[in-house]
Structure 1
């Protein structure tokens, strides 16, 4: 598997990242161990998790596997903070107190003294961005995190955070949803990242699983769309607009004699500023398919997919 630099930093990450959203809930310990081992054996390094995944269960399971299954030094460990659990559910909290407390808890669950990349998972309108960035700076200076970044933030927030971190530190990454079914980040986040030298990590590059084309005819009983806790996550991409993109993707894949998954991943990895794409296989079989997805798309195929999936852009991005 290839590696790419994360923006203009010296950190290199594998072009595919292993996501752990389902670990500790839909993916059990045996499958997680196989996923992690197979991923690293294939040359993968970037392992992505978050304190909010399974209310900490994903980090705990990953922590149990680091050492017995893979060496800590063989992976680029990324986790996220900023969503605090309460009796009423998750609450966005990117205050200094919540972030640093969450980071310490993550380190305990992961069984390590530092993470390679630490991200703020969501914007917090109640906390000044200056305070949030101060927590990022402290995490690096205290040795808890080697690099820091943002997830799911707007372009202006990305630019402001990068400015606040300079000149002592750099904003290494933004992790955002990016696929043929979600290209909104192209309006402001991607240009901001390019101008600032920030690496972009694409989460859900397969359109929450819809770009595998498994939902073309029905909803498989063992799929996320049939799951009580993930059905709402997939539902936005099961409409007519998404179906048109999926059909174009299937046509392209048939012409190339490859799978829709391979073409969808190749499209994301061909986009400017993208350092890596984080996939979240629930089973080793799903990971095996993703690991074979190295593919250079012909320009004509890229242009056709660009056209059918083009996001609506208006003022002021386009005049």
Structure 2
């Protein structure tokens, strides 16, 4: 698998990342092991998790796989802090103290002394930005993180955070932003992508397959073994099951038929090769699904197909 620089940093990552949102909850240790083996054997390096994934279960599971399945130094380990679930409800906290304590807990669960990329998982109104960013400085200066980034920031938030960090020598440079991006959600093209490109940030799209809808599996209903049928993800997937989304899915299916590709390949290659994108984060339900995604490394979409997909998905 080809490698790309993360923004204007010296950190190189595979141009497809492996997401672990469901690890330790819906994805058990055996399935996770198979996915990680398939990913690294294909040359994948970017492994993405978060403290809030399964209330730490994802990080714990990853920690058990280092040494046994893959060497720690063979992956670019990325995690996030700032979103958690307490008492059954989603909470966000990006205060300096909370972020640092969360990072230390992440390191213990992962069984490592540092992560390669540590990201603030969300913007929180009311928390001073300089306080949040001070936690990133602390993480880098103490060796807990090699690089830092943000996630789910709007365009102006991304620009403000990156500019603040670049304003004074010694602050930790913002290396990347992780945001939702797919043919079903192109809102980051208006402000986030221009900001990231102007400021030298790598873009790590999450849900590049439109929460699984762009694979075409929901065209004729919701399969019982799909994430859309899961109580954890029914609403999450349902966001993209409207009539306007169906038109995009059908266009992806038709493009795949013309190229002899799967819809997954069409949608994933489209995101991977968008301007500013470093690596889409692919979260697979099974190792078989992941292997299907890992076969795209040598694929590229013809310009006329890109133009057609742009037209139907509302691109500028």
Q: Which band: TM-score by shorter chain? A: over 0.9
Matches within 5 A, 1:53-92: 53-92=53-92
8 Å Cα contact 2:208/2:280 also seen in 1: yes
Question: What is the CA distance between 1:126 and its match in structure 2?
Answer: 2.1
Determine whether 1:298 maps to 2:302: yes
Aligned to 2:94: 94
TM-score by length of 1: 0.96
Displacement of 1:88 in angstroms is 4.8
- Which piece of structure 1 moves more, 274-283 or 159-168? 159-168
Per-residue CA deviations over 1:14-54 (Å, capped at 9, x if unaligned) read: 01101001111111101111111110111000000001111
User: For 1:198 and 1:242, how far apart are their aligned partners in 2?
Assistant: 29
Unaligned runs of 5+ residues in structure 1 are 314-319
Q: List aligned pairs for 1:1-319, cutoff 5 A.
A: 1-166=1-166, 167-168=169-170, 169-294=172-297, 295-310=299-314
- Which sections of structure 2, spanning at least 5 residues, go unmatched? none
What TM-score do the two structures reach when normalised by structure 2? 0.97
Counterpart of 2:224 in 1: which secondary structure? coil
Change (3 A) 1:105 1:33: same
Work out the CA distance in 2 between the residues paired with 1:252 and 1:88: 42
Matched residue, 1:316 = none
1:118-166 deviations in Å (ceiling 9; x for gaps): 0011111120111111111111111000000100001111111111212
Shift of 1:170: 1.4
Note the aligned Cα RMSD (angstroms): 1.0
For residues 77-99 of structure 1, the C-alpha deviation after alignment (integer angstroms, 9 at most, x for no partner) is 00000014322522110000110
Q: Give secondary structure in 1 for the equivalent of 2:278.
A: strand
Cα distance in 1 between the residues matched to 2:84 and 2:223: 33
